[in-house]
Amino acid sequence: MTENAVGRGTVLAGRFRLEDLVTETEGARFWRATDQILARSVAVNVISDHDPRAEALLVAARTSATVTDGHFLRVLDAAEEDGVVYVVHEWGTGMSLDKMLADGPLPARRAAWLVKEVAEAITTAHRQGIAHGRLIPENVMVTEAGSVKLIGFVVDAVLHGRQPSAEGESVPLSDHESDVRNLGALLYVTLVGKWPGLPGTRLPEAPRDHGRALRPRQVRAGVPRPLDTICDRVLNGGQNSHQLPLETAHEVCAALSDFIGDPATAAQVGYEPTSVIPAAGLEGLRSGVRTGDPEATQVSPPHRDEDDDRTAATGGAASAAGAAAAAGAGAAAAASTPPADPDATQAGAPLFYDDDSGIGWVSDTPGRGLRSDESAQRTPPPPPPPFPEPEAKPLFAPGPPRAAAASGAAAGAPGSASDTGSASAPGGFGRSSHGTGSLPPVWGPDAPVEPPSTDSRSENAGRGWMRLAVIVATCLVLVLAVVIAFNLGRGSGDEDTTPAGEEPSGSAGNEQPARPLAIAGVRDFDPEGDPAEENTDLAPLAVDGDPGTAWKTMTYYGNPQLGLLKDGVGLVVDLGSAKEVSSVQVDLVGQPTDVELFATPEGQGSPSTVDGLQQVGRSNGAGQRATMKLDEPVTTQYLVVWLTSLPATSDGFQGQIAEIVVRP
């Protein structure tokens, strides 16, 4: 077997059957496959064994499998077989971060929680000396259960290349440093929708000033100041003398845990909240000089403002003037009555510091004085409850959502997914990959969690008796219903003599429907597929007279309209010769299904495309049966039953046709 010989239907390791080619990038093919033993979908990366990345891919797969963390999609198998090298991963169902941001930035708390989950996973990997290597929005996914999963751990960096250093970097970053830098970039992009990290994503770049990304609050109003500071400490760490950089994944995780109100996680990784004031800053506080955020505009104690998540700074010329006056007065007072101990505050003047605004002040409340060394040793109080998310206030008018634009482009550009049914995209994941599903209605830090049972044995016993009572009651009701139905049937003397496949007669005139036309043959019809086949062996099940068997389409992902990969797929019905047709009945499995009916012109052979065919019927949103009565009977030999929108299944969208009945 060679890489070119690998196609739909190929079985790897005697177990994994390739179903859908999702993307093909630089010789690396990404497939959705079926694990025939466990009957589940899996993801498979395949390259030629002559590819220079082949050996590194196997090493990366084995390395990835050593990290046991629930945030990573696990490697299930990796091997070299018959001329190809493949890696099998878990298949994830959810939505990738780049798709989520198509509708705009995330709320602040949800953004912080998502990146914290990513940072927890990267912390676990870094402790074992392993880096992700390509931590971009396309490789971060929120599943349909509301959990965060990372795609392409170690493997993606081998297949698509490690991210180059950012412009202006004098020393190339290591994979571990790249992960930490991109953690800050992930937080940044979730807050403002712009990417400030290393190259490799399709999202727009963040605006820069002299090679340095602008802070989130300079790009979009309403970003909480603590998250703005975390981004700056990761992306521009060390460039500001008043704050320490965040240089490891666990430091980023702890800082985000502190923001969303999870002090246990912060303490677990050894994070110290920013409320401890260095001794060097005391003189500035006594004199009224600001020691925190240079953007702050107040010296007096900060006040709460509903327009910001935490502490809002007052602005304007009047506030600035008042601040200058207060600073001068404070300096004069300090000069006239200096404290006895240069490292201690005055008696009755405790020291306070606000994390969000970066402002410190001295209170004049008697009896509450603290020395700076005592305050540094005290355990800070837990953070206050979070304020409601502020309404997003972009500085500039937003453009059209990228997802809508992309869908419109795909709909208006024939062949945009190519004849292979794939859509190549940076990062190696296309339209039908496991990052384009749906999200749960509620997810993130405030999603409800079901409390654990306090007494599982007693609860299970109670539930067992309840289930038994329900079963007994149901059986009694069923027996009673059967007896009543039997007696009513005997009394009425009516029998249902409608044969299988026939519709019951109407009440008007007791007119019987016409006998169905004989069907000479049926075949699958997939003109836009490569190869042009869609479960060929199952096609006869659609006309075998047994409604319990059905022809099935492939499973499509991301959109009921065949994943936006094709216009439609269906069956060609051969009547043996040209015959007059007035109605067609299609029995379906699942709902809703959009069905169209085409007829070939009289004398024309079996169709190879729907172009040039006459559309004679249509049923949108059909349930278990679609009956299409023609306005005028047509004479034709070949009919095309064409499915354009498929019902949802447990892992995608799939159409099924159980029976086709054609009547004159």
The mean of the pLDDT values for the chain is 73
Cis before residue 278, ω within 30 degrees of 0? no
With cut-offs at 50, 70 and 90, classify the pLDDT of residue 638.
very high
> Residue 325 pLDDT > 90, yes or no?
no
**What pLDDT, on a 0 to 100 scale, did the predictor assign at position 563?**
82
Q: Determine the pLDDT at residue 473.
A: 84
Q: Output the CA–CA distances (angstroms, integers) from residue 182 to 54, 152, 209, 231, 480, in the order listed.
A: 27, 15, 19, 10, 67
**Stretch 79-108: mean pLDDT, rounded?**
90
Q: What is the mean pLDDT of residues 455-484?
A: 70
Give the list of residues 6+ apart from residue 164 with CB closer than 8 angstroms, or none.
198, 199
Give the span between the Cα atoms of 419 and 532, in whole angstroms.
9
436 is written with which tokens? 């384009």
Please give the structure tokens belonging to residue 219.
């790009």
Give the range among 75-84, 305-314, 619-628, 645-654 with minimum mean pLDDT. Answer: 305-314
Q: What percent of the chain has pLDDT over 70?
A: 63
For position 154, what pLDDT does the model report?
Answer: 92
Q: What is the pLDDT of residue 174?
A: 85
pTM comes to 0.50
Query: What pairing do the DSSP bridges indicate for beta strands 40-48 and 75-81?
Result: unpaired
- Say if CB 105 and CB 192 are below 8 A apart: yes
Measured distance CA(361)–CA(299) in Å, rounded: 7
pLDDT of residue 21 exceeding 80: yes
Residue 540: exposure state from Cβ atoms within 10 A (0-12, 13-18, ≥19): middle
- First-last CA distance in the chain: 50
Q: Render pLDDT for 270-319 as a digit per residue (tens, 0 to 9).
A: 444 443 333 333 344 334 443 444 443 333 333 334 344 443 333 343 33
Which pLDDT belongs to residue 102?
Answer: 87
Looking at residue 564, what DSSP letter applies?
G
What pLDDT is attached to residue 116?
A: 95
**Residue 145: what pLDDT?**
84
141, HSE (Cβ side, Cα atoms, 13 Å): 27
pLDDT at 389 over 70: no
pLDDT in tens, 228-269: 999 999 988 756 656 788 889 999 999 999 998 865 554 444
H-run or E-run covering 123: helix 108-127
Q: Are strands 521-525 and 28-35 parallel, antiparallel or unpaired?
A: unpaired
Structure tokens, 209: 């000033």
* pLDDT beyond 60 at 112: yes
